[in-house]
Chain A
Amino acid sequence: MSKIFIAEDDTVIREQLAELLKNAGYATECLTDFANSLEIIMNSEADLILLDINLPHTNGEQLLMEIRRRTDTPVIMLTSRSTEIDEVMSMSYGADDYITKPYNPTILLLRISAVMKRSSKETVSTSYRDLKLNSAKGTLSNEKCELTLTKNEMIIFRLLLDRQGEIVTRDDLMTALWDNEEYINDNALTVNISRLRGKLADAGYEDAIETRKKQGYILI
């Protein structure tokens, strides 16, 4: 389980963030003693740090520079200041991403997983049973057949595969699609999933994607 460190001084936001991340399957640690922020952050051995720009005793940018000097753990800056200048500054100090308050929770989770993926050393899986996923060609293939997936189907399959064995909500799928500039609606998502199922059935995997009522889909 990946661990996320939360450095945020607003108690309520901090608690809600921790809950959000826990629900999304991350372990969390929160900063409460702001006098020794740097030490605590460095000792936490987190996989990712959420860092508020306005922290008591120090400021986020300074802290970010200190962290960068010691480790390359990914850092996402959180702020309610929303000017391009702030963003450019943070990025130049070595932040991996920059998110403004109030955060849209789904976007926040999406950005976190994107940053995690970028920095994680483990390679993402590229095969499902005996089917090989070729993202560049947009195909799924084994010795017997080759399935051509559309861009949408590819995005959906990728997400299901990344979280194989876990439930992926429709909301998650929508977020991933919209984040890839595919602005499809609810009906289209249903259509895309049933087409993807059809294609997988052609390769002999009729029940690869299961529907969990009111929860989402799961790739087995």
Chain B
Amino acid sequence: MSFREYIKDRASLICITVAAWAMILFFFVSFKIRTDIIILFSIIYYTAAILRCIWDFLRRREFYNTLSESMKQLDKKYLLSEVMEEPDFAEGRIAYEALCEANRSMCENVAAYKKISAEFREYIEMWVHEVRLPVASMLLMSHNDGENGVKYGEQLRRIDTCIESVLYYSRSENAEKDYIIKPYELKRIFGSVAVKNREDILRRNITLSTEGLDKTVMTDSKWLEFILGQLLSNSMKYFAEEREPEIKVYAEENDNSIVLHFRDNGIGIPAADLPYIFDKSYTGENGHTHSRSTGMGLYIVKSLCERLGHSISASSVQNEYTDISVSFGKNDHVKPQ
């Protein structure tokens, strides 16, 4: 708040002060009072008015400047009332109390929604464990059934992939920390993803090759397994019919990161869609023309990566390849043994 603004705001008050002085002056002149008394009165009158103005300005300026300064510096603006001191003038106090009251009510509101969302998440987790029991029994049944069971097994694995993505969606949206970051060898994590999807990969005659996966990264194995599983199932959805399907998974080491590439020779992603593929519910051209897509897979993958501190990016040339790369930060404390 500048002095000019303050004065502008009080233009009418100043006008009244001046008008009152003019009236008094008029009476003084009418009663033929001596000029030096009139001058003395005017000096006292204006000095008082100016002093009052300055004092009031300074007091307000301190409050409002702290207010706007704190506002600028605060990362979470709603904490404003916590960092402010209670002002010593009435108007300020009214504003301050209103601020506190509003904040309290908002906190209560947020807490109520937090509770609802936590309960919902808890239920989802429970439901996922519950629904996995019959899926597990049926998978075993389909395996015990030999030849006949193969086609059921395939569908059951599809169901399980869907169930898993619900679970990880709920995990990725939640602020609770339910992962453990530890050093893992990439080949161990990719290995279990590959073995898990072996039947589907072989049935589609995909040539799968790996390179340089003996590197160690800091991650959560379950989450990364889910991420790689999603990338794999995406690749399998969008293979080009005219080519032999190939997937290459390789890792490169840079000065400050290890980058894991997941590359397929499928139909690729149109350049116009590429910047948006990680957005929530974005389906793009491929999602309409080829396999049906929910637009959630890559969004979940990206949020999980962000939570784990990995960065993810994509490059692609339509009708040639798609390359998704996950980059892991390197840490001096965990030099691979």
Residues of A near any B CB (own CB < 8 A): 10, 12-13, 16-17, 19-20, 23, 80-85, 87-88, 101-107, 174-175, 178-179, 181, 183, 185-186
Is B68 interfacial (CB 8 A cutoff)? Answer: no
Q: Is the CB of B144 within 8 A of A23?
A: yes
Q: What are the 6 A-B residue pairs with the smallest beta carbon separation, nearest first?
A: A16-B140, A102-B136, A105-B143, A183-B208, A12-B137, A101-B136
- Given the known interface contacts A82-B222, A84-B222, the answer about A102 and B156 at a Cβ–Cβ threshold of 8 Å is yes
Is B202 interfacial (CB 8 A cutoff)? Answer: yes
Residues of B near any A CB (own CB < 8 A): 128-129, 132-141, 143-144, 156, 160, 167, 178-180, 182, 187, 191, 194-196, 198, 201-202, 205-210, 213, 220-223
Point out the residues of chain B lying under 8 angstroms from A103, CB to CB. Answer: 136, 139-140
Q: Is the CB of B195 within 8 A of A175?
A: yes
- Report which of B129, B132, B195, B220 forms a contact with A84, defined as CB distance below 8 A: B220
Q: Is the interface of A mostly helix, strand, loop or mixed?
A: helix
Q: Is the CB of A178 within 8 A of B194?
A: yes
- Given the known interface contacts A85-B180, A183-B210, the answer about A104 and B195 at a Cβ–Cβ threshold of 8 Å is yes
Point out the residues of chain B lying under 8 angstroms from A102, CB to CB. Answer: 132, 135-136, 138-139, 156, 160
Q: How far is B134's CA from A106's CA once the two chains are assembled, in angstroms? A: 18
30 interchain pairs, CB-CB under 8 A? A10-B136, A13-B137, A13-B140, A16-B144, A20-B140, A20-B143, A80-B136, A81-B129, A83-B178, A83-B179, A84-B221, A84-B222, A84-B223, A85-B179, A101-B132, A101-B135, A101-B136, A102-B156, A104-B196, A106-B143, A107-B195, A107-B196, A174-B198, A175-B198, A178-B195, A179-B191, A181-B191, A183-B194, A185-B205, A185-B206
Point out the residues of chain A lying under 8 angstroms from B201, CB to CB. Answer: 183
Q: Is the interface of B mostly helix, strand, loop or mixed?
A: helix
Q: Chain A nearest CB: distance from B280 CB in Å?
A: 24
Point out the residues of chain A lying under 8 angstroms from B128, CB to CB. Answer: 80
Point out the residues of chain B lying under 8 angstroms from A83, CB to CB. Answer: 178-179, 222
Q: Chain B nearest CB: distance from A214 CB in Å?
A: 9
Q: How far is B133's CA from A80's CA once the two chains are assembled, in angstroms? A: 8
Point out the residues of chain B lying under 8 angstroms from A20, CB to CB. Answer: 140, 143-144
